[in-house]
A and B are shown apart, each in its own frame.
Chain A
Amino acid sequence: MSVSEQEFVRELSQSPPLPDTLYPSVVQGIQRRRRSRTAAWALAASVAVAVGLGLFSGAVPGQDTPAAATDELAEEMYLLCDFVNGGSIDEELDFFAGGDAF
């Protein structure tokens, strides 16, 4: 058995029916794209604002922003270490247990 050209083209034109679920998934895809675009804009805007604020605050005379930020960050790190190691909690317990609160 072989196929004629007409049969071939007829077979070629056959395809499974368009799935009913396709349009709802297109709509979902559109909504997902909108959401990710909004998120991307929000991220870009927040980065721009942060950079802008950094530049602006860096321009204030007599204020050494990077050095101040480093000190602040170091202090935050110490506090975090204390909290993780439980140091600050021990100090607070000692304070209340040894104090004349009552």
Chain B
Amino acid sequence: MQEVAVDTLREASKGDDSAFRRLYEHYAPVVWRQVVRMAQGDEELAAQITQDVFVRVHAGLRRFDGRSAFSTWLFRIAYNRAMTVLTRRQRQRRRTVPLHDEIPGREDTGRLEAREIVQRLLAPLSPDERFLLVAREVDGVPFEELATITGRKPGALRTQLSRLKRALREGGDDVGE
């Protein structure tokens, strides 16, 4: 991903509000897209997480040492925050919602549109898997960067993604029949 100008980063870390706004406008759409997907389209929750991410980014800007790309550092904050919130929420839902409510049904699939099929395919995935799919397939984030963001090995992520895509292909065939 194209990074924001170094001057903007420097000014934002010194407390320049307009520089921070430029930084937000540059990165927020990507963070938003990833978080919305991770939150299964729950916009209210995604807005809370994205807000929290940028508040944390603002607080931690001075600590950014430039050892990685700024986007990697920011996505790491976004990934960790989203995972914390969504995992906690998922645990709460498991306690209150019967499991069969979370599994997508397979009835009336004849006239499903592509969007619905995609949503049904994504529904049973974990936030982590959804993040991997969007970050890799849509935003084209390299595996090495994904490894830094998620704290896992690039090889493990490659394997996970390939398994995930195979399962989705099979699931897509089933849902689309």
Contact = CB atoms under 8 A, between A and B. Distances in A.
Interface residues of A, number: 23
Interface core residue of A2, A5, A19, A22 (most chain B CB under 10 Å): A2
Contacts of A15: 32-33, 36-37
- 4 smallest CB-CB distances across A and B, nearest first, come from A2-B176, A29-B55, A11-B118, A15-B33
B43 interface: yes
A19 B176 contact: no
B112 interface: yes
A21 B43 CA distance: 12
Contact of A3 (B29, B55, B114, B138): B114
Interface of A: 1-3, 5, 7-9, 11-16, 18-19, 21-23, 25-26, 29-30, 33
A2 B43 contact: no
B137 A16 contact: no
B114 A11 contact: yes
Given A1-B112, A3-B176, A25 B117 contact: no
Contacts, number: 81
A12 B51 contact: no
Contacts of A2: 117, 172-173, 175-177
A101 B138 CA distance: 92
B152 to A, nearest CB: 21
Interface of B: 21, 24, 28-29, 32-33, 36-37, 41, 43, 47, 50-52, 54-55, 58-59, 109-115, 117-118, 121-122, 133-134, 137-138, 165, 168-169, 172-173, 175-177
A11 B133 contact: no
A30 B173 CA distance: 47
Contacts of B109: 1
A38 to B, nearest CB: 13
A3 to B, nearest CB: 5
Nearest to B52: A29
B29 A18 contact: yes
